[in-house]
Amino acid sequence: MDWGMQNRISQIIKPKTGRTVMLAVDHGYFLGPTTRLEDPKKTIEPLIDYADALMPTRGGLRNCVDAKTSTPIVLRVSGGNSIISEELSREGITTSVEEALRLNVAAMAMSIYVGSKYEHQTLMNLADLCDKAQRYGMPVVAVTAVGKDMVRDARYLSLCCRIAAEMGAMIVKTYHTDGFDKVVEGCPVPLVVAGGKKMETELDVFEVVSSAIQDGAVGVDMGRNIWQNDHPVAMIKAVRAVVHEDYTPKEALDLYKAQEKEDGNN
């Protein structure tokens, strides 16, 4: 692998543990001002130092993230629809590689919608972006987006993740599911898991993260389950402990509770 590509990936997946906690804050690109991300700057500020990488859009980055940060950026570069549009899968590439280089990011991220109406378009977006990004040693993170009525089982996610890797993605973001070890087995590049909608309890989150890690994921790219929590700093610290230190879900919950007291409202 080229030095630049390797160096960028090492900024995201920490060489010491081979794992990563990415903080997703890109939701506005189709959801608008999502709950607890209404003012991204306020949400991001207390959390950014605990994230191994931050995933915003270019607008989010320029307007809401301090340029002096040392946290690597994984830039969301696909979009073109909204939560009220009929077909969420109709995405294009919204940001060029040149702009990503100007913003000094560590990777570019985009969604593919396997099995949806615009499957072909999104897969060709990925192939094209990988071609362009490769020229500059820029890794592409493929996000396996799932349509509203689609089943997120291991068979389907294996299909999505493998296709993403074959198209040239260097990291794949997907969902955790039963039989996730099979998804990992079929995907030759590192996998990170999304959190999805806010889960009922903190323990539920730690259980998902822990299973994903045990099954072979290199980490998480999580948003709502961190910053929609009443104690986001405690939450990200506990998620880090599971990802980087193999804490059990119960140990992570104890840490969360201890931090919750220490950190007050953050």
* Binding-site ranges for ligand 5RP (CB under 6 A): 24, 26-27, 55, 111, 143, 145, 194-196, 222-225
Residues noted as catalytic: 173
Smallest distance from ligand 5RP to CB 28, Å: 9
Smallest distance from ligand 5RP to CB 3, Å: 28
Q: Are 52 and 21 in contact (CB under 8 A)?
A: yes
The first and second tokens of residue 254, run together, are 């104890």
- H/E run at residue 190: none
Smallest distance from ligand 5RP to CB 127, Å: 19
Smallest distance from ligand 5RP to CB 145, Å: 4
* CA–CA separation, 168 and 81 (whole Å): 24
Nearest residue (CB) to ligand 5RP, 121 versus 185: 121
Nearest residue (CB) to ligand 5RP, 4 versus 33: 33
Classify each residue of 51-78 as buried b or exposed e, where b means 16 or more C-beta atoms within 10 Å of its C-beta.
bbbbbbbbebbeebbeeeeebbbbbbbb
| Beta strands at 78-79 and 92-93: parallel, antiparallel or unpaired | antiparallel
Closest by CA position to 123, among listed 89, 173, 157:
89
Half-sphere exposure of 138 (CA within 13 A, CB side): 28
Nearest residue (CB) to ligand 5RP, 1 versus 31: 31
Q: Are 207 and 252 in contact (CB under 8 A)?
A: no
Smallest distance from ligand 5RP to CB 135, Å: 25
Nearest residue (CB) to ligand 5RP, 145 versus 233: 145
The CA-atom distances, in angstroms, between 95 and each of 80, 98, 103 are 11, 8, 11
Nearest residue (CB) to ligand 5RP, 4 versus 115: 115
